[in-house]
Structure 1
Amino acid sequence: MIKVGIIGAAGYTGGEAIRILLRHPKAEIVFAQSNSQGGKPVSDVHTDLLGETDLYFSENWHTDIDVLMLCTGHGEAAKFMQANYIPDEVKVIDLSHDHRLNQWTYGLPELNKEQISQTNRLANPGCFATAIQLALLPLAAAQLITAEVHVSATTGSTGAGQKPTETSHFSWRSNNLSVYKAFEHQHLGEIYQSLRQLQPSLSKDVNFIPYRGNFTRGILAAVYTECALGLEEAQQLFTNYYKQAPFVVFSDKNPDLKQVVNTNKCLLHLEKHGNKLFIISMIDNLTKGASGQAVQNMNLMCGLEETTGLLMKPVAF
């Protein structure tokens, strides 16, 4: 069994990691650390786990484990690593932004599967970044991003984290929609980094407009760019690129977000409109966009089949 410890286990990503790992046939949660909830039952905070586990949050942690997941806020993971000694043999997966840019191995399995399987220090991708990159990687691999890319993407309220803020409060979020960080979202850095890994000559802008949605979980990214390929050629390009990617699923029909919520899937749909290729990319921001992808990476790092413990069905209604 893979012994897993979680730092920052009381947040949304920590709770999702616990939920997934409780059903993982090859993993055992050794501790779920929380500075704010130490000593309390996990199910008091993650109420969906009532009756699922007797695990308690701990204030302390140790390195007698195989994998350490950092489910902390942005900036906190780097501080944790600087303040504490983690043996090289302990595999560390950082779910925050702290180590994504040219530091640790970037954990997008559809891009870096071989590198992921050989590393002990891994930066889990951002949620928006995952959805957008999976819409564009095949084009970059074929050197076909030759015009500006336009992205509109909407995320659920859980993407803002568990700590209440003005824009995550129910009375503000309900029946509401807003743009934030237009053209300046922090995930753009990792998006460019990955695209240029495949297409070093990339010089065109990725114009990204993020939206706060009035739902709790999921991301819908609508992406388009000029492309000379016909629809069938584009579909073949994407199919070939993702033939070894078990969580990328194609839909011939215009999909909806409930088809991916509670799963580790990315659902892609392609259309051609004149000279523009239009790509819809959908993920659950807490699973494929965070904790599910972290477990997928853990599987690869530990030599397991990457789908282990992750074959979850969406809740469609």
Structure 2
Amino acid sequence: MIKAGIIGGSGYTGGELIRILLNHPNTEIDFVYSTTRAGKPIASAHQDLLGLTDLKFSGEVNPNVDVVFLCLGHGNSTAFLNENPFSTSTKIIDLSNDFRLQADSTFNGKRFIYGLPELNKSSIQSAEAIANPGCFATAIQLALLPLAKAGLLNNEVHINAVTGSTGAGVGLSPSSHFSWRNNNVSWYKPFTHQHLGEIGESLNSYGNPVGKLLFLPNRGNFTRGILATVYTQFDGSLEEAKQLFTDFYKDAVFTHLSEEEIHLKQVVNTNQCHIHLHKHENVLLVTSAIDNLLKGASGQAVQNMNLMFGFPETEGLLLKAGVF
């Protein structure tokens, strides 16, 4: 049994992390730190946990926990770790973008490993610190990594992906307000989204040429999930593409190739990524679907924790979607 701490536990990712860890057989939550809710019950922020835990938010940090999860806004993890140093034996899993890029991956003597298990599983197993991937980045990388490894991303790659409103975080903004979001769809940050940096580093890690990535993110009028459609020139057959993806993900416990067209309800509330391939003339269309709060955030963070501590990779994460 290991002791876990959570920093920033009142948001969406913090809530999902608490829900998973409460049911994880090898983990005990030592504290959930919050500057705004210290002393209040966890269920005051996460009403779905009413009756499942008596934990209260803490205003203090235990620096000697076995693992700490940072569920802070982007740019805040660095400042928090500077002000609140943890034991040298404490493993750190950061869910922000502070340490995802290679240039930012070393901090206070710790090297943050990019935590995409389908790409870096062996490095994660021996890591002291993890930079958890972004949600869009996870969906898009899982759609493209097999092609990158095979050197088949020489041409432009067109990416269109839509995310639910929880991707914007728990704080209110005009574009997350119900009256604006309901019955509405819009794009944002066209071709400049912040996840492009980590996507590019992963795709280029195989040393093969990668064409220009043209990414158009969209806001959907639903709460959870990401559906990404990615297409690029592909001169092989559809069966060759399927074999490429099957071989790449043969040992992946959460990423699966579907023969049927996929949709978000298959993966929402799970740590799964489902992928479907379609070929039209010389263009290969790859569709991927994930839950942005689980495989795109908290679920993947626990998957990384499992690998770091030698637990079964699926421990605490065998969650079923509700497709009805």
> What interval of TM-score do these two structures reach, taking the shorter chain for normalisation?
over 0.9
**Aligned counterpart for 1:148 among listed residues 139, 148, 156:** 156
**Aligned counterpart for 1:158 among listed residues 158, 166, 169:** 166
Consecutive unaligned residues of structure 2, counting only runs of 5 or more, are 106-111
Aligned residues: 316
Deviation (angstroms), 1:203: 4.2
Partner deviation per Cα, 1:10-59 (whole Å, 9 max, x = no partner): 01100000001111111110101111111111111111111111111111
- Counterpart AA for 2:32: A
- Counterpart AA for 1:16: E
TM-score (normalised: structure 1):
0.98
- Counterpart AA for 1:163: G
The aligned residue for residue 108 of structure 2 is none
The aligned residue for residue 311 of structure 1 is 318
- Counterpart AA for 2:28: E
Deviation (angstroms), 1:253: 1.1
Instruction: Tell me how far apart the structure 1 counterparts of residues 277 and 143 of structure 2 sit (CA, whole Å).
Output: 9
Instruction: Tell me how far apart the structure 2 counterparts of residues 35 and 229 of structure 1 sit (CA, whole Å).
Output: 55
Deviation (angstroms), 1:202: 2.3
Alignment of 1:37-56 (within 5 A): 37-56=37-56
Q: Which runs of 4+ in 1 moved over 6 A?
A: none
Deviation (angstroms), 1:228: 1.4
- Counterpart AA for 1:288: K
Moved more, 84-93 or 294-303: 84-93
Q: Secondary structure at the match of 2:205?
A: helix
Instruction: Tell me how far apart the structure 2 counterparts of residues 201 and 256 of structure 1 sit (CA, whole Å).
Output: 31
Alignment of 1:245-264 (within 5 A): 245-264=252-271
Q: Secondary structure at the match of 1:240?
A: helix
- Counterpart AA for 2:316: G
Deviation (angstroms), 1:78: 1.1
The aligned residue for residue 29 of structure 1 is 29
Deviation (angstroms), 1:2: 1.4
Instruction: Tell me how far apart the structure 2 counterparts of residues 194 and 109 of structure 1 sit (CA, whole Å).
Output: 12
- Counterpart AA for 2:155: A
The aligned residue for residue 9 of structure 1 is 9
Instruction: Tell me how far apart the structure 1 counterparts of residues 88 and 123 of structure 2 sit (CA, whole Å).
Output: 16
- Counterpart AA for 1:11: G
Residues 1:172 and 2:172 are matched in the alignment: no
* Identical-pair percentage: 59
Deviation (angstroms), 1:81: 1.6
- Counterpart AA for 2:235: A
Residues 1:82 and 2:82 are matched in the alignment: yes
Deviation (angstroms), 1:63: 1.5
